[in-house]
């Protein structure tokens, strides 16, 4: 029998490596931008078409490559950054395994043009699926220009595996932002389908953070700094009152490399303990600098976790540094201690007054009976008429008060309804006491209302008279666009007034007096939180989010409580909120007896 073992052809070996290194268009962007930085570029342009599916182009003004280097750069384990194993521990460059280009070239069509300062002519190389197609001189400017076309063209299973353009582009943004946040002395531009998404000039860190995440962030940044022999801590943390629900604005970097670090994360969160509004997570941009040999160098190219020699010490120092910074801010909040403010940023500190949310109930409306849905038949003008009959008090006069008892006399008769603390409805029924969490009840009611509208594609738009301009960050703008089809079904409409800035033109007719910018912000945050949760579909996310916005700061009196309870019993699942929290609590007589034993 002949020998069986064969060496894999390079192209196959590279494709296998690509499976690890290049998972999606964003990985290509990361690798190529990092190469540009390693090549000492001061300007990097990223040009994306169709979320990277069609083309990813990275242009830099760095060192460029000689003809031989350009050709060699596509070989596996070809790198100019690592000579022997000792180098591994003293590395300051981003990439070092020499795998990225070989991998990329094995799963795409690559066009490279590159020229060094000293060369008169540059070199052009075209490769498709690891096969060299062209290698010839070309006239081009100093630096390197990579274009990656039709990623995974020869690996259909991977191409099919890619998510929607919106999702893939957000992955690209994430990589781009991480790199931009650590290389403030480099100017970056990002285009998507010829539209400029980012134009980040060289700047100080604070300015860079603000350029990436929006000028609203500026007012909430507190600088931190602590230098010791073991570690240098720098960066910014968010003021507690600016904390958000999402984790999107939380960045750790070590030696200018993005990392995740659950242990240090705890040090930060502990420092914020007891000063954060409930259910919020603060923003932070924390930069650690340590001796390269004191960390377990990130051998795996896609891994973002790193081990530190002095983990305990860094934990403590981080904790103390943040606590001090927060203390400083708490004692004298009006004075800005930040040293790094040698630039002017107009800050939008418009105090949005949060109007108490009020749900516009049409008493004859029932989500289960489309013929009685008069709310949706209201004309445009009706919405701007002061409609007195909408007041809670009027809802329960005469014929309205009759309805609940008629309909539900078997379920309950809340004649002696008591409202406790503005949020609990209590009534007794034969031998039990029923306590209803009214906010939760309203949450359930409105959730089903919006869910029903989404399922039945029932548009019930209400125009908005005074529109707020809502400036969004690039990624949040993309999320709103992703949700647009669903939102428009229930009556939302937006207008783009300028790049990443929208005006809400209409909202669902069922909501009234709601802080719309806040509602949009919550929608986006909830989408980010639940997006990865396959159990929850987008309709659920939207219905929950809007329903939640309608109950914020809600206070109940007897009449609104009665109405809410009546509506609650018409819902499909009156006992629990969409998040699984209890709404109704029954206490048997003997349970109450037991309280007094
Ligand atoms: P690594 O970055 O790990 O060395 P890569 O496959 O990403 O491996 O790149 C291989 C080599 O190609 C690099 O070491 C570098 O010498 C060269 N190279 C890649 N991109 C550029 C660029 N934009 N400018 C100059 N040289 C580059
Ligand atoms: Mg590299």
Tens of pLDDT, residues 300-311: 555 677 888 889
pLDDT, average across residues 183-195:
95
- 94 alpha carbon – ligand 1 mean position (Å): 10
Separation in Å, CA 254 to CA 37, 92, 231, 443? 16, 11, 10, 43
Show the tokens assigned to 247.
Answer: 């984790």
Separation in Å, CA 594 to CA 427, 584, 590? 19, 20, 6
- 329 alpha carbon – ligand 2 mean position (Å): 41
The protein residue whose alpha carbon is closest to atom 12 in ligand 1 is 73
Q: Check residue 583 and give its pLDDT.
A: 95
Q: What is the chain's length?
A: 597
pLDDT at 269 over 70: yes
Q: Check residue 446 and give its pLDDT.
A: 92
**Number of Cβ within a 10 Å radius of residue 363:** 16
Q: How far apart are CA 235 and CA 250, in angstroms?
A: 12
For residues 391 and 592, which has the higher predicted lDDT (pLDDT)? Answer: 592
Q: In angstroms, how far is CA 460 from the centroid of its own chain?
A: 28
Q: Is 104 in the pocket of ligand 1 (CB under 6 A)?
A: no
Closest ligand 1 atom to residue 60 Cα is 23
CA Rg value for the chain: 29
pLDDT at 519 over 60: yes
Q: Is 428 in the pocket of ligand 1 (CB under 6 A)?
A: no
pLDDT, average across residues 398-419:
51
Q: b vs e for 296-311, b when ≥16 Cβ sit within 10 Å of the residue's Cβ?
A: eebeebeeeebebebe
Q: Is 33 in the pocket of ligand 1 (CB under 6 A)?
A: no
**Number of Cβ within a 10 Å radius of residue 92:** 11
Q: How far apart are CA 237 and CA 269, in angstroms?
A: 11
pTM of the model: 0.70
| Total H helices, total E strands in the chain | 17, 25
- 255 alpha carbon – ligand 1 mean position (Å): 20
Q: Is 63 in the pocket of ligand 1 (CB under 6 A)?
A: yes
Q: Is 52 in the pocket of ligand 1 (CB under 6 A)?
A: no
Closest ligand 1 atom to residue 301 Cα is 3
Q: Is 97 in the pocket of ligand 1 (CB under 6 A)?
A: yes
HEC secondary structure over 459-496: CCEEECCCCCEEECCHHHHHHHHHHHHHHHHCCCEEEE
Tokens 């242990």 locate to 263
- 308 alpha carbon – ligand 2 mean position (Å): 23
How does pLDDT run across 335-362, given as a tens digit for each residue? Answer: 344 444 334 333 333 333 333 333 333 3
**Between the CA atoms of 459, 438, 577 and 490, what dihedral angle is there, to the nearest 10 degrees?**
10
* Residue in 35, 60, 63, 140 to alter for ligand 1 test, most ligand atoms within 8 A of Cβ: 35
Q: How far apart are CA 252 and CA 250, in angstroms?
A: 7
Do 595 and 473 meet the contact criterion of CB atoms below 8 Å apart? no
Please provide residue 272's backbone torsions phi and psi, each rounded to the nearest 5 degrees: -90, -5
């Amino acid at each position: 029998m002949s020998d069986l073992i064969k060496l894999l052809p390079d192209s196959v070996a590279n494709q296998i490596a690509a499976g690890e290194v290049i998972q999606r268009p964003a990985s290509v962007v990361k690798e190529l931008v990092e190469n540009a930085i390693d090549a000492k570029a001061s300007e990097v342009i990223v040009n994306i078409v169709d979320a990277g599916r069609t083309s990813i182009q990275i242009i830099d003004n760095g060192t460029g490559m000689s003809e031989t280097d350009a050709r060699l750069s596509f070989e596996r384990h070809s790198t100019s950054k690592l000579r022997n194993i000792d180098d591994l521990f003293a590395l300051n460059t981003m990439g070092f395994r020499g795998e990225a280009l070989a991998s990329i070239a094995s799963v795409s069509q690559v066009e490279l043009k590159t020229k060094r300062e000293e060369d008169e002519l540059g070199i052009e190389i075209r490769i498709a699926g690891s096969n060299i197609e062209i290698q010839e001189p070309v006239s081009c400017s100093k630096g390197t220009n990579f274009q990656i076309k039709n990623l995974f063209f020869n690996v259909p299973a991977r191409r099919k595996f890619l998510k929607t353009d919106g999702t893939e582009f957000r992955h690209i943004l994430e990589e781009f932002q991480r790199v931009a946040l650590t290389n403030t002395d480099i100017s970056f531009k990002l285009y998507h389908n010829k539209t400029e998404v980012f134009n980040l000039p060289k700047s100080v860190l604070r300015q860079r953070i603000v350029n990436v995440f929006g000028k609203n962030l500026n007012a909430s940044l507190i600088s931190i700094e602590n230098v010791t022999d073991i570690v240098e801590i720098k960066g910014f943390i968010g003021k507690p009152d600016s904390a958000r629900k999402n984790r999107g604005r939380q960045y750790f970097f070590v030696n200018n490399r993005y990392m995740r670090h659950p242990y240090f994360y705890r040090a930060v969160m502990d420092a914020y303990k007891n000063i954060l509004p409930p259910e919020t997570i603060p923003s932070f941009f924390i930069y650690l600098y340590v001796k390269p040999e004191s960390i377990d160098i990130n051998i795996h190219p896609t891994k973002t976790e790193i081990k530190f020699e002095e983990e305990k010490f860094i934990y403590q120092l981080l904790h103390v540094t943040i606590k001090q910074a927060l203390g400083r801010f708490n004692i004298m909040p009006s004075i800005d201690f930040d040293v790094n403010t040698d630039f002017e940023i107009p800050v939008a500190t418009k105090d949005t007054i949060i109007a108490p949310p009020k749900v516009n109930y049409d008493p004859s409306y029932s989500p289960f009976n489309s013929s009685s849905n008069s709310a949706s038949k209201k004309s445009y003008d009706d919405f701007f008429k002061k409609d007195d009959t909408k007041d809670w008090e009027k809802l329960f006069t005469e014929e309205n008060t009759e309805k609940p008892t008629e309909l539900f006399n078997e379920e309950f008769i809340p004649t002696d309804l008591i409202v406790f603390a503005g949020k609990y409805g209590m009534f007794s029924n034969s031998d039990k006491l029923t306590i209803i969490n009214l906010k939760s009840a309203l949450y359930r009611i409105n959730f089903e209302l919006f869910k029903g509208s989404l399922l039945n594609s029932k548009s019930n738009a209400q125009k908005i008279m005074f529109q707020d301009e809502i400036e969004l960050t690039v990624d949040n703008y993309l999320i709103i666009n992703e949700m647009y089809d669903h939102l428009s079904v229930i009556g939302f409409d937006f207008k783009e007034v300028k790049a990443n800035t929208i005006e809400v033109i209409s909202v669902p007719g069922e909501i009234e007096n709601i802080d719309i910018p806040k509602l949009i912000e919550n929608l986006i945050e909830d989408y980010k939180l639940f997006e990865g949760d396959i159990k929850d579909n987008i309709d659920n996310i939207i219905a929950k989010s809007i329903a939640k916005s309608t109950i914020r700061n809600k206070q109940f009196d007897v009449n609104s409580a009665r109405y809410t309870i009546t509506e609650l019993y018409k819902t499909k699942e009156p006992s629990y909120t969409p998040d699984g929290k209890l709404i109704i609590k029954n206490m048997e007589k003997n349970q109450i007896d037991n309280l007094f034993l």
